[in-house]
Amino acid sequence: MLIEKAKCFAAIFHDENFNGGTGWLQRFKDRYGIVGKIVSGASDAVNTQEVEKWISGEWPQICARFSPSEIFSADETGLFWQMLPNKTLDLRGSTCSGGKMSKVRVTILLAANMDGSCKRKPFVIAKSKSPRCFKNCKSLPVTYGFNGKAWMTRQLFSEWLQAWDQEWDQELCKSGRQICLLLDNCSAHHTTCKLKNITVKFLPPNTTSKMQPLDQGIIKSFKVGYRRRLLQRLLINLRMGSELKVDLLGAIQMITGAWSDVKHETVSNCFRKAGL
């Protein structure tokens, strides 16, 4: 983004000798004391014995009962919908704060099946029941939920799961098919709701970073696509001399587009990477 803006200024001032590149960018950052800081997410220590036990025991039984198109995985991720990269520019010596309490953070539940042929509509959880930007919007391209912290809760997850079960009730009952949904052991995922068409299987504890297919590159691909769209908006606004203004509705539209851009090959490859 800095390089693109520098090139715009060079064109305005007719500096034909300017050739902005990574070398120029590094010198610029060094000159003004700008450093990159990683905005980290959650991680866990993988229990390899539990992974091997589940793959050799539980997984063959699932594969014998369900086809790849019937095996889904779902997982949540936090999205700072006004932030461009997974790094943020800051001055040396300052701290990088944020996290789950950020005002521009939403939780997104993504779900896709093993062969990548079906990606469920994103479930976006924000803080407000009716944001002002939704006022003239008749329908949203996502499933929308809310609570005071914009987190996934057991109630929200149960409502999402039951709605999915009911949505597919007629189609699945006619064919006698069922769906297997792979989940991690997050407390919000442990519901008591009765399901007709969805069989929930939990991955072993402390194995999410290894066994959860969405954590093997699906979520990363989605976020790269989102930030690309946000950056494109920013550059257009910079060229027009206007300030970037993105509200939650605009973010939801970019979320939908970024999820649509995730290729089915990416999804199936990430299932394989997870050992599934």
Q: Name the residue type at position 83.
A: M
Distance, in Å, from the CA atom of 105 to the CA atom of 149, rounded to the nearest integer, reads 9
Neighbours of 188 (CB within 10 A): 17
Angle at 153 (CA atoms; ends 252, 198), nearest 5 degrees: 85
Q: Tokens 């800051």, residue?
A: 90
Residues 248 and 133: beta-carbon distance below 8 Å: yes
Residues 72 and 111: beta-carbon distance below 8 Å: yes
Token pair in block for residue 126: 């924000």
Residue 96 has pLDDT above 60, yes or no: no
pLDDT interval class at 238 (50, 70, 90) = confident
The burial class, CB within 10 Å (0-12 / 13-18 / 19+), for 258 is buried
Average pLDDT, the chain: 83
Distance, in Å, from the CA atom of 53 to the CA atom of 257, rounded to the nearest integer, reads 38
User: If you average pLDDT over residues 48-70, what whole number do you get?
Assistant: 93
Residue 183 CA neighbour count, 13 Å, CB half: 19
Residue 16 has pLDDT above 80, yes or no: no
Phi, psi of 241 (to 5 degrees): 75, 20
The hierarchical CATH code for the domain 47-273 is: 3.30.420.10
pLDDT interval class at 23 (50, 70, 90) = confident
pLDDT the model gives residue 174: 65
Residue 93 has pLDDT above 70, yes or no: no
Please state which of the ranges 29-38, 56-65, 190-199, 239-248 shows the lowest mean pLDDT: 29-38
pLDDT the model gives residue 28: 63
pLDDT interval class at 241 (50, 70, 90) = confident
**40-49, 87-96, 155-164 — which one is most confidently predicted on average?**
155-164
Residue 229 has pLDDT above 70, yes or no: yes
Cα 54 to Cα 74, 214, 260, 267: the distances in Å are: 18, 18, 31, 21
Q: Note the pTM of the prediction, 2 decimals.
A: 0.78
pLDDT the model gives residue 116: 95
pLDDT the model gives residue 159: 96
pLDDT interval class at 167 (50, 70, 90) = confident
Distance, in Å, from the CA atom of 247 to the CA atom of 82, rounded to the nearest integer, reads 9
Q: Parallel, antiparallel, or unpaired for β 198-202 and 179-183?
A: parallel
The proportion of the chain whose per-residue pLDDT surpasses 70, expressed as a percent, equals 74
Distance, in Å, from the CA atom of 276 to the CA atom of 269, rounded to the nearest integer, reads 10
Strands (E) located in 25-70? 34-38
Token pair in block for residue 225: 């696509």
For CATH 3.30.420.10, the residue range(s) in the chain are: 47-273
Token pair in block for residue 104: 């521009």
